Structure 1
Protein backbone atom coordinates (compact mmCIF):
# COMPACT_ATOMS: atom_id res chain seq x y z
CA UNK A 1 0.00 0.00 0.00
CA UNK A 2 1.38 3.37 -1.02
CA UNK A 3 0.52 6.22 1.36
CA UNK A 4 1.74 9.65 2.28
CA UNK A 5 3.27 12.66 0.57
CA UNK A 6 6.92 12.90 -0.39
CA UNK A 7 8.06 16.26 -1.81
CA UNK A 8 10.88 15.78 -4.33
CA UNK A 9 12.06 16.91 -7.78
CA UNK A 10 11.85 15.80 -11.37
CA UNK A 11 15.29 16.49 -12.82
CA UNK A 12 16.05 18.37 -16.04
CA UNK A 13 16.04 15.08 -17.99
CA UNK A 14 12.50 14.26 -16.77
CA UNK A 15 13.53 11.60 -14.27
CA UNK A 16 11.83 11.11 -10.93
CA UNK A 17 13.79 9.38 -8.19
CA UNK A 18 11.29 7.33 -6.22
CA UNK A 19 11.19 8.39 -2.57
CA UNK A 20 12.81 5.75 -0.32
CA UNK A 21 9.57 4.59 1.34
CA UNK A 22 7.92 4.00 -2.02
CA UNK A 23 11.03 2.42 -3.55
CA UNK A 24 11.24 -0.03 -0.68
CA UNK A 25 7.64 -1.13 -1.34
CA UNK A 26 8.32 -1.42 -5.08
CA UNK A 27 11.43 -3.55 -4.46
CA UNK A 28 9.59 -5.83 -1.99
CA UNK A 29 6.35 -6.32 -3.94
CA UNK A 30 6.40 -5.14 -7.53
CA UNK A 31 9.70 -5.01 -9.35
CA UNK A 32 11.03 -2.37 -11.76
CA UNK A 33 8.33 -2.20 -14.47
CA UNK A 34 5.66 0.49 -14.52
CA UNK A 35 2.95 2.02 -16.65
CA UNK A 36 2.92 5.82 -16.33
CA UNK A 37 -0.20 7.64 -17.48
CA UNK A 38 -2.87 10.16 -16.51
CA UNK A 39 -6.65 10.31 -16.45
CA UNK A 40 -6.84 14.08 -16.85
CA UNK A 41 -3.45 15.49 -17.85
CA UNK A 42 -3.12 17.17 -14.44
CA UNK A 43 -1.47 14.35 -12.50
CA UNK A 44 0.96 11.67 -13.56
CA UNK A 45 -0.03 8.23 -12.30
CA UNK A 46 2.73 5.68 -11.78
CA UNK A 47 1.28 2.19 -11.73
CA UNK A 48 3.43 -0.84 -10.93
CA UNK A 49 2.87 -3.07 -13.94
CA UNK A 50 1.19 -5.77 -11.80
CA UNK A 51 -1.41 -3.23 -10.65
CA UNK A 52 -1.95 -1.78 -14.14
CA UNK A 53 -2.55 -5.27 -15.51
CA UNK A 54 -5.41 -5.67 -12.99
CA UNK A 55 -6.99 -2.51 -14.44
CA UNK A 56 -6.49 -3.84 -17.96
CA UNK A 57 -8.22 -7.08 -16.96
CA UNK A 58 -11.27 -5.08 -15.82
CA UNK A 59 -11.25 -3.04 -19.03
CA UNK A 60 -11.07 -6.25 -21.09
CA UNK A 61 -14.40 -7.35 -19.59
CA UNK A 62 -16.14 -4.41 -21.28
CA UNK A 63 -17.40 -4.62 -24.84
CA UNK A 64 -14.94 -3.31 -27.39
CA UNK A 65 -17.83 -1.11 -28.58
CA UNK A 66 -18.36 0.47 -25.14
CA UNK A 67 -17.73 4.24 -25.43
CA UNK A 68 -16.51 4.47 -21.82
CA UNK A 69 -13.94 1.74 -22.52
CA UNK A 70 -12.80 3.53 -25.66
CA UNK A 71 -12.46 6.91 -23.91
CA UNK A 72 -10.56 5.36 -20.99
CA UNK A 73 -8.14 3.62 -23.34
CA UNK A 74 -7.78 6.69 -25.56
CA UNK A 75 -6.84 8.93 -22.62
CA UNK A 76 -4.60 6.47 -20.78
CA UNK A 77 -2.81 5.50 -23.99
CA UNK A 78 -2.42 9.14 -25.08
CA UNK A 79 -0.56 10.00 -21.88
CA UNK A 80 0.83 6.53 -21.17
CA UNK A 81 4.15 4.81 -21.61
CA UNK A 82 5.87 1.82 -20.13
CA UNK A 83 8.84 2.66 -17.92
CA UNK A 84 11.51 0.71 -16.14
CA UNK A 85 13.16 1.91 -12.96
CA UNK A 86 16.91 2.30 -13.37
CA UNK A 87 19.58 1.15 -10.89
CA UNK A 88 19.36 4.50 -9.05
CA UNK A 89 15.60 4.13 -8.50
CA UNK A 90 14.62 6.68 -11.17
CA UNK A 91 11.72 6.63 -13.61
CA UNK A 92 11.45 8.71 -16.77
CA UNK A 93 8.14 10.61 -16.81
CA UNK A 94 6.83 10.76 -20.42
CA UNK A 95 7.55 14.14 -22.00
CA UNK A 96 3.93 14.82 -22.99
CA UNK A 97 2.84 14.23 -19.41
CA UNK A 98 5.67 16.35 -17.98
CA UNK A 99 4.55 19.23 -20.17
CA UNK A 100 0.79 18.85 -19.74
CA UNK A 101 0.76 18.20 -15.97
CA UNK A 102 3.75 20.50 -15.37
CA UNK A 103 5.52 17.78 -13.39
CA UNK A 104 8.94 19.35 -13.61
CA UNK A 105 11.10 20.73 -10.83
CA UNK A 106 9.40 20.64 -7.42
CA UNK A 107 6.72 17.93 -7.22
CA UNK A 108 4.79 15.95 -4.65
CA UNK A 109 4.68 12.17 -4.91
CA UNK A 110 1.45 11.00 -3.31
CA UNK A 111 0.61 7.46 -2.29
CA UNK A 112 -2.74 6.41 -3.74
CA UNK A 113 -2.92 2.89 -2.32
CA UNK A 114 -1.97 0.79 -5.39
CA UNK A 115 -0.24 3.51 -7.42
CA UNK A 116 1.61 6.80 -7.05
CA UNK A 117 0.56 10.23 -8.25
CA UNK A 118 3.02 12.95 -9.17
CA UNK A 119 1.76 16.52 -9.05
CA UNK A 120 3.31 19.94 -9.51
CA UNK A 121 3.94 21.06 -5.90
CA UNK A 122 2.74 24.65 -6.30
CA UNK A 123 -0.37 23.75 -8.29
CA UNK A 124 -1.28 20.94 -5.89
CA UNK A 125 -1.05 23.17 -2.83
CA UNK A 126 -3.25 25.78 -4.54
CA UNK A 127 -5.78 23.06 -5.44
CA UNK A 128 -6.18 21.65 -1.92
CA UNK A 129 -5.67 24.80 0.12
CA UNK A 130 -8.75 25.94 2.00
CA UNK A 131 -9.89 29.51 2.54
CA UNK A 132 -7.94 29.68 5.82
CA UNK A 133 -4.71 28.77 4.03
CA UNK A 134 -4.56 25.21 5.38
CA UNK A 135 -4.64 22.05 3.30
CA UNK A 136 -7.91 20.61 4.53
CA UNK A 137 -11.01 18.52 4.02
CA UNK A 138 -14.15 20.60 4.37
CA UNK A 139 -17.26 19.44 6.23
CA UNK A 140 -18.95 18.77 2.87
CA UNK A 141 -15.90 16.75 1.72
CA UNK A 142 -16.10 14.63 4.87
CA UNK A 143 -19.86 14.18 4.53
CA UNK A 144 -19.47 13.01 0.91
CA UNK A 145 -16.70 10.62 1.98
CA UNK A 146 -18.84 9.21 4.80
CA UNK A 147 -21.76 8.72 2.42
CA UNK A 148 -19.64 6.90 -0.15
CA UNK A 149 -17.98 4.67 2.43
CA UNK A 150 -21.12 4.17 4.51
CA UNK A 151 -19.30 5.40 7.60
Structure 2
Protein backbone atom coordinates (compact mmCIF):
# COMPACT_ATOMS: atom_id res chain seq x y z
CA UNK A 1 0.00 0.00 0.00
CA UNK A 2 1.25 3.47 -0.87
CA UNK A 3 1.45 5.69 2.19
CA UNK A 4 2.71 9.22 2.54
CA UNK A 5 2.17 10.62 6.00
CA UNK A 6 5.23 12.67 6.89
CA UNK A 7 5.82 16.39 6.45
CA UNK A 8 9.16 17.76 5.25
CA UNK A 9 10.60 21.24 4.85
CA UNK A 10 12.50 21.46 1.57
CA UNK A 11 13.99 23.97 -0.83
CA UNK A 12 13.25 24.74 -4.45
CA UNK A 13 15.65 26.67 -6.67
CA UNK A 14 14.92 29.29 -9.32
CA UNK A 15 14.92 26.62 -12.04
CA UNK A 16 12.19 24.66 -10.24
CA UNK A 17 14.36 21.85 -8.93
CA UNK A 18 12.83 20.61 -5.68
CA UNK A 19 15.34 18.86 -3.43
CA UNK A 20 13.64 15.96 -1.67
CA UNK A 21 14.75 14.43 1.64
CA UNK A 22 16.64 11.14 1.28
CA UNK A 23 14.09 9.21 3.36
CA UNK A 24 11.31 10.28 0.99
CA UNK A 25 13.42 9.53 -2.09
CA UNK A 26 13.97 5.93 -0.93
CA UNK A 27 10.23 5.48 -0.52
CA UNK A 28 9.54 7.06 -3.92
CA UNK A 29 12.14 4.94 -5.71
CA UNK A 30 10.43 1.82 -4.34
CA UNK A 31 7.29 3.06 -6.11
CA UNK A 32 9.01 3.20 -9.48
CA UNK A 33 10.47 6.72 -9.54
CA UNK A 34 7.97 8.27 -11.99
CA UNK A 35 5.33 10.70 -10.78
CA UNK A 36 2.57 12.98 -11.95
CA UNK A 37 2.54 16.59 -10.70
CA UNK A 38 -0.67 18.59 -10.99
CA UNK A 39 -2.46 21.63 -9.61
CA UNK A 40 -4.55 21.04 -6.52
CA UNK A 41 -8.29 21.45 -6.95
CA UNK A 42 -8.98 22.97 -3.54
CA UNK A 43 -5.75 24.76 -2.56
CA UNK A 44 -2.90 26.75 -4.05
CA UNK A 45 -0.45 23.87 -3.90
CA UNK A 46 0.67 20.98 -6.07
CA UNK A 47 -0.23 17.30 -5.82
CA UNK A 48 2.37 14.64 -6.64
CA UNK A 49 1.07 11.16 -7.42
CA UNK A 50 3.02 7.94 -7.96
CA UNK A 51 2.09 6.72 -11.45
CA UNK A 52 0.23 3.72 -9.97
CA UNK A 53 -2.02 5.99 -7.88
CA UNK A 54 -2.50 8.37 -10.78
CA UNK A 55 -3.59 5.52 -13.07
CA UNK A 56 -6.33 4.62 -10.57
CA UNK A 57 -7.45 8.25 -10.40
CA UNK A 58 -7.52 8.64 -14.16
CA UNK A 59 -9.49 5.38 -14.55
CA UNK A 60 -12.20 6.86 -12.32
CA UNK A 61 -12.22 10.12 -14.27
CA UNK A 62 -12.30 8.18 -17.54
CA UNK A 63 -15.72 6.83 -16.60
CA UNK A 64 -17.44 10.22 -16.83
CA UNK A 65 -19.61 10.84 -19.86
CA UNK A 66 -17.51 12.90 -22.28
CA UNK A 67 -20.56 13.84 -24.30
CA UNK A 68 -21.44 16.39 -21.62
CA UNK A 69 -19.70 19.74 -21.92
CA UNK A 70 -19.37 20.20 -18.13
CA UNK A 71 -17.59 16.86 -17.84
CA UNK A 72 -15.11 17.86 -20.54
CA UNK A 73 -14.57 21.18 -18.79
CA UNK A 74 -13.86 19.32 -15.53
CA UNK A 75 -11.36 16.95 -17.17
CA UNK A 76 -9.62 19.83 -18.91
CA UNK A 77 -9.29 21.84 -15.70
CA UNK A 78 -8.41 18.83 -13.54
CA UNK A 79 -5.51 17.92 -15.82
CA UNK A 80 -4.38 21.49 -16.62
CA UNK A 81 -0.63 21.84 -16.34
CA UNK A 82 -0.13 18.18 -15.51
CA UNK A 83 3.45 16.97 -15.89
CA UNK A 84 5.22 13.63 -15.52
CA UNK A 85 8.49 13.84 -13.55
CA UNK A 86 11.18 11.56 -12.23
CA UNK A 87 13.77 11.85 -9.50
CA UNK A 88 17.20 12.91 -10.78
CA UNK A 89 20.59 11.74 -9.45
CA UNK A 90 20.69 14.69 -7.02
CA UNK A 91 17.39 13.56 -5.43
CA UNK A 92 15.35 16.35 -7.02
CA UNK A 93 12.20 16.59 -9.09
CA UNK A 94 11.68 19.35 -11.62
CA UNK A 95 8.62 21.52 -11.08
CA UNK A 96 7.69 23.27 -14.32
CA UNK A 97 7.50 27.06 -14.38
CA UNK A 98 3.71 27.14 -14.78
CA UNK A 99 3.15 24.82 -11.81
CA UNK A 100 5.74 26.65 -9.72
CA UNK A 101 3.93 29.92 -10.46
CA UNK A 102 0.50 28.42 -9.70
CA UNK A 103 1.61 27.28 -6.22
CA UNK A 104 3.67 30.44 -5.53
CA UNK A 105 6.77 28.35 -4.83
CA UNK A 106 9.83 30.51 -4.15
CA UNK A 107 12.53 29.04 -1.89
CA UNK A 108 11.06 27.42 1.23
CA UNK A 109 8.50 24.69 0.57
CA UNK A 110 6.70 22.02 2.54
CA UNK A 111 6.12 18.50 1.26
CA UNK A 112 3.11 17.06 3.10
CA UNK A 113 1.96 13.46 2.88
CA UNK A 114 -1.70 12.92 1.98
CA UNK A 115 -1.85 9.11 2.26
CA UNK A 116 -1.57 8.03 -1.40
CA UNK A 117 0.00 11.22 -2.78
CA UNK A 118 1.81 14.23 -1.37
CA UNK A 119 1.36 17.97 -1.66
CA UNK A 120 3.98 20.63 -2.32
CA UNK A 121 3.24 23.98 -0.67
CA UNK A 122 4.88 27.34 -0.25
CA UNK A 123 5.96 27.14 3.40
CA UNK A 124 4.11 30.29 4.51
CA UNK A 125 0.91 29.23 2.72
CA UNK A 126 1.10 25.78 4.30
CA UNK A 127 1.52 27.19 7.80
CA UNK A 128 -1.44 29.49 7.22
CA UNK A 129 -3.56 26.62 5.87
CA UNK A 130 -3.01 24.32 8.85
CA UNK A 131 -3.37 27.07 11.43
CA UNK A 132 -6.42 26.41 13.59
CA UNK A 133 -7.52 26.52 17.17
CA UNK A 134 -8.17 23.35 19.16
CA UNK A 135 -11.95 23.75 19.23
CA UNK A 136 -12.17 24.16 15.43
CA UNK A 137 -9.98 21.11 14.86
CA UNK A 138 -11.99 19.06 17.36
CA UNK A 139 -15.20 19.98 15.52
CA UNK A 140 -13.65 19.15 12.13
CA UNK A 141 -12.44 15.80 13.47
CA UNK A 142 -15.90 14.95 14.74
CA UNK A 143 -17.55 15.95 11.44
CA UNK A 144 -15.13 13.93 9.30
CA UNK A 145 -14.46 10.92 11.51
CA UNK A 146 -17.48 10.82 13.84
CA UNK A 147 -19.60 8.53 11.66
CA UNK A 148 -16.82 6.13 10.68
CA UNK A 149 -17.48 2.62 11.98
CA UNK A 150 -13.99 1.32 12.69
CA UNK A 151 -15.31 -2.17 13.48
CA UNK A 152 -16.18 -2.67 9.81
CA UNK A 153 -12.48 -2.49 8.87
CA UNK A 154 -11.65 -5.52 11.00
CA UNK A 155 -14.14 -7.91 9.36
TM-score (ref. length: structure 1): 0.85
Q: Which runs of 5+ in 1 are unaligned?
A: none
The alpha-carbon distance between structure 1 residues 142 and 86, as it changes in their structure 2 partners (threshold 3 A), is same
Structure 2: distance between partners of 1:21 and 1:34: 17
Higher radius of gyration, 1 or 2: 2
2:137 is the alignment partner of 1:138? yes
Q: Post-superposition shift, 1:131? A: 5.0
Structure 1: distance between partners of 2:67 and 2:112: 34
TM-score (ref. length: structure 2): 0.83
Q: Which runs of 5+ in 2 are unaligned?
A: 151-155
Q: In the TM superposition, what whole-angstrom CA distance separates every residue of 1:67-124 from its partner, at most 9, and x where no partner exists?
A: 5643442123212111122122211112111112112210100011111100011111
Structure 2: distance between partners of 1:6 and 1:113: 14
Structure 1: distance between partners of 2:81 and 2:126: 19
Q: Post-superposition shift, 1:8? A: 0.8
The alpha-carbon distance between structure 1 residues 147 and 70, as it changes in their structure 2 partners (threshold 3 A), is farther
Q: Is the 8 A contact 1:38 1:45 kept in 2?
A: yes
- Aligned counterpart in structure 2 of residue 65 of structure 1, from 45, 64, 67: 67
Aligned residue-pair number: 147
